Structure 1
Amino acid sequence: MRIAIIGAGIAGVCTAYELAADGHQVSVFERRGSVAAEASFANSGLVAPGLVLGWTQAPLSLAGRWRRWRQGRDEAAALRRQRLLKLAVYSHERLQQLRRSLKLDYERAEGMLVLLRSAREQAAIAPGLELLAEAGIAHRALDAAQCRQAEPGLNPEAALHGGVLLNAGEVGNCRQFAHQLRLEAQRLGVQFRFHTTVRSIAPGTPARLVHEYTPPHEGPGPSARNGNGENGGDTQPAETGPQQDSFEAIIVCGAQDSAALLQPLKLKLPLASAQSCSITAPLRQLEAHPELGPKAGLFDQQKQVHISRIGQRVRVVGSDEAQLHKVLNDWLPGAMVAGQLQRWQGPHATLSDGLPVLGGSGLAGIWLNLGHADGGFTLACGAARVLAEQVGGLTPELDVSGLDSARFG
């Protein structure tokens, strides 16, 4: 099949690879000059199936929701969440398969520890832990001493009640993974069309796509088209003005751009935008304190802030930069070389029920893989594999029914 993918974030790159591995002819359209240039650029790098439902977020209100779901008052919603958990576990397994078979090295570190500052927080997340147990997701409750044993760099003076260790959890450089998988996809024949904006799509057999070459403005100096720019020489000068192509399938992975493309098709998803920001800097190296930084991933449940080890750097991710510095100083004071700080901020797409949209759109030739929010790296590999099987007419290894757009009517 001839297939188009809109968006070259982590979801789009993984989808392109899986489809090409199945023998399809794939073109990826991306308005930026490279892969993972927006929401996948400097995210937490978190891959943790146990966190995909966000049971640590607003725990007091979620406690009532878990009870209602278990009582069967919203069986459809409960089933969708069960399938999302299974997709997250499957995705983590698929990531490990790709990492080993393709020999990918993306600065990964194993381990994910949720930090609890008080007994109240621990009590509040109890329903979420029950949900993990029901789903068979291995985890272990730790007291403060056990948390510090798992992460020796934690500040001994910080107020720490305990934590939850997620067995299947890791962090890694999402952008680096996307670049490496993109090269593997290109070896399988995938064409990446960078600096190319998709103006419209139309369902049908075949489906149609209108795109336009939109290179950045070039001032004086060497041209970005000669291979020295961020696109690595992939994008070649193209015809100006809108161009139309036909494909047997078009897969929308464009996150923030998706609403504008889908609205003319009367496919109105409840998409919203949420902002994330991150700070990244080298880990301070002190002979007297070899454990200054995190060993892998930490999540501050109260502050909703992630701390990740990315190679020899530390990255802190949340919604407010001032809070990022405070949380890092709470748990790992002095760990970051602040003079070499890199800042990033960007939006990611979310849906009203907190779940992604994966599968057919109900319109001929149009497929969806978007709305992963901050769980994009966790879900990317599994969602891509499932969607490749659906688009190719194969029987998917995993049942994700209920996660498609039909749930919004």
Structure 2
Amino acid sequence: MRVVIVGAGVVGITSAWRLAQDGHEVTLLERHDGPGEETSFANGGQLSYSYVAPLAGPGVMGKVPGWLLRRDSPMRFRPVADPAQWRWLAAFMRACNAATSEATTRKLLRLAFYSRDLMQAFVASEGGKSGAGTDFDFARRGKLIVHRDGDAFESARRLLDYQASLGCEQQALDREACVALEPALLGIRDEIAGAIYTPSEEVGDCHRFCLSLARLLQQQPGVSMRFGTSVQGLVQEGDRISGVRTASGVVPADAVVVAGGIGSVPLLRPLGVRPLLWPLKGYSITVPLSDGGRAPHISITDFANKIVYARIGNTLRVAGMADLVRGGARIDVERVGTLVTQTRALFGGIVPDIPLAQLQPWAGLRPATPDGLPMVGPSRLRGLWLNLGHGALGFTLAMGSAGLLADRLAGRKPAVNAEEFSAARA
């Protein structure tokens, strides 16, 4: 089958990889000069399979007023005169209840564990091949969710049995055990109420993962990657999509997979396909580790501040924030400054006194659905497939979503319940 994929971020390029493995003739279209150059470029780096609970949770709405009053809050909201934002917010508020959040978490965990299996299989099969070029600093480092508030920690402890019933392997640690496991936290020892430890969580450089897949795809017969190619629209013939229109002409297709993140919304709108997506703008810095001994080896999530820390090679990736704003991926210096301040507060002088530009500040627009469930599969138009809406979990869920997409396109029974991630919602 001739398959054209729009978008070469981590979701699009993993889709290309899985479909090429199935023997399809794959054409990948990307407006940038290489893969993974937008939201996938400098994300948090954590492959956080056991922590996929949606942003829309039962306690979120009560925290929003306090967050909006803080300049360094983990969430920022600026209303705009756009009905799409208000539709998204209305659906988000409807999802902020325990029943919906728990159901969503169960679905996401199934997809995340499937994604973990596929990622580990990929690393095992491709990582050991001479010249494969799959080095993206993949490592199983484990993860600590650090709580400073005793009530929040006790709430997390009570969830351990429930999480275990869903397949998570976790344990609660008191402050002494937490610091013994990760000595880099010694500086805030007295502030720690406890932590939840998951030894199986992994890390990797998402951008370099995309580059690795691109190198492997170059070796696959029937694969064409067209970087620097802007998509102008999709070709519709009746109720069927038959190709993709670019500046250099139409690329014909038996199936078109739209995996272009938040940029997919205006592309799909003329077809009457309106996925309910809104960008959650996130930020990161990448700290060079001249003295690696003082940096954490285990991935850390500061629960109160919603900031993640992941050692990737000889750097520490620090990421966080969820800004529901307009304005593209422009870097907000104040928000990036918060990441610098919080990192210094948590790990002492680990951030060198260097210009901010040398910390590689980054901002990305994470395409989120209100309930946190991505849309993977066929749309209501024949030949049009979607792989969208992964929010902050794009790296974590990419391989699983690509596997689900490939199974559905091939007519195989999917490894996870496809209806739970139906693209018909668009």
TM-score of the superposition, structure 2-length normalised? 0.81
Whether 2:210 is the aligned partner of 1:192: answer: no
Cα distance in 1 for residues equivalent to 2:49 and 2:126: 22
Give aligned-pair identity as a percent: 31
Question: Given the superposition, is the C-alpha separation of residues 362 and 126 from structure 1 closer, same or farther in structure 2, using an over 3 Å criterion?
Answer: farther
CA contact (8 A) 1:10 1:376 kept: yes
In 2: Cα distance, 1:378 partner to 1:393 partner: 25
Residue 268 of structure 1 aligns with which residue?
274
Matched, 1:139 2:170: yes
- Paired AA for residue 198 in structure 1: V
| Mapped partners of 1:156, 1:323: distance in 2 | 19
User: Are positions 1:151 and 2:182 aligned together?
Assistant: yes
Residue 278 (structure 1) aligned to one of 284, 297, 302: 284
Please identify, of 200-209 and 4-13, the stretch whose mean Cα deviation from structure 2 is larger.
200-209
> 1 CA distance for matches of 2:18 and 2:300?
31
Q: For each residue in 1:331-364, what CA deviation from the matched residue of structure 2 results, as whole angstroms up to 9, or x when unmatched?
A: 2112233424211112121111122111111210
CA 1:62–1:29: 2 relative to 1, 3 Å:
farther
Matched, 1:334 2:349: yes
**1:33/1:333 CA distance change after superposition, 3 Å:** same
State the SS of the aligned residue for 1:363: coil
- Quick one: distance in 1 between partners of 2:62 and 2:14? 32
CA distance in 1, matches of 2:201, 2:217: 26
> Quick check: 1:307 aligned with 2:309?
yes
Q: 2:242 aligns with which of 208, 213, 217?
A: 208
1:3-402 mapped onto 2 (5 Å cutoff): 3-54=3-54, 59=59, 68-69=98-99, 79-103=103-127, 104-109=134-139, 110-126=141-157, 128-158=159-189, 159-189=191-221, 190-203=223-236, 207-213=241-247, 239=248, 243-285=249-291, 291-319=293-321, 320-339=335-354, 340-402=358-420
Task: Report which stretch shifted further, 125-134 or 325-334.
Answer: 125-134
Deviation at 1:381, TM superposition (A): 0.7
1:52 counterpart SS class: coil
Aligned CA distance change for structure 1 residues 83 and 296 (closer, same or farther; 3 Å): same
AA of the residue aligned to 1:153: A
Partner Cα distance (1:375, 1:101) in 2: 24
Residue in 2 that maps onto 1:223: none
Secondary structure of 1:145's match?
Answer: helix
Report if the CA contact (8 A) 2:160-2:171 is conserved: no
Kindly state the Cα deviation for residue 329 of structure 1 after the two structures are TM-superposed.
Answer: 1.4
With over 3 angstroms needed to count, the CA separation of the structure-2 counterparts of 1:406 and 1:211, relative to structure 1, is closer
Letter of the 1:84 counterpart: L
User: Is the Cα–Cα contact under 8 Å of residues 99 and 105 in structure 1 kept in the other structure?
Assistant: no
- Structure 1 residue 207 displacement after superposition: 2.5
Contact 1:138–1:166 under 8 Å retained in 2: yes
Q: Alpha carbons of 1:78 and 1:211: their partners in 2 closer, same or farther (altered >3 Å)?
A: same
Structure 1 length-normalised TM: 0.84
Q: 1:207 to 1:56 in 2, by over 3 A?
A: closer
Matched residues in 1 for 2:233 and 2:339: separation?
39
Unmatched runs of 5 consecutive residues or more in structure 1:
214-238
Q: Secondary structure at the match of 2:20?
A: helix
Write the letter of the residue equivalent to 1:176. R
Q: Which residues of structure 2 form unaligned runs of 5+?
A: 64-93, 128-133, 322-334
2: CA distance between counterparts of 1:60 and 1:80? 15
Q: What CA distance in whole angstroms lies between the structure 1 residues aligned with 2:60 and 2:250?
A: 51
Given residue 350 of structure 2, which amino acid in structure 1 is its aligned partner? A
**Tell me, what secondary structure is at the counterpart of 1:369?**
strand
Structure with the higher fraction of residues in helix conformation:
2
- Asked if the contact 2:261/2:388 (under 8 Å) is kept, the reply is yes
Q: Deviations over 1:300-346 (max 9, x none)?
A: 11000011111001111112212211221122112233424211112
The alpha carbon displacement at 1:68 in A equals 4.4
Indicate if the aligned counterparts of 1:56 and 1:128 stay in contact, CA closer than 8 A: no
Query: 1:368 and 1:42 mapped to 2: Cα distance?
Result: 24
Please give the alpha-carbon distance, in whole angstroms, between the structure 2 residues aligned to 1:407 and 1:312: 42
Change (3 A) 1:361 1:65: closer
SS of the residue aligned with 2:294? Answer: coil
Conserved in 1, the CA contact under 8 Å of 2:289 and 2:314? yes
Contact 1:359 1:368 in 2 (8 A): yes
CA 155–378 in structure 1, closer or farther in 2 if over 3 Å, else same:
same
- 1:53 CA drift (Å): 1.6
C-alpha distance after superposition, 1:211-250 (max 9, x if no partner): 334xxxxxxxxxxxxxxxxxxxxxxxxx4xxx22221110
User: Matched residue of 1:114: which SS?
Assistant: strand
Match of 2:424 in 1: 406
344-353 or 124-133: which moved more? 124-133
Number of aligned pairs?
370
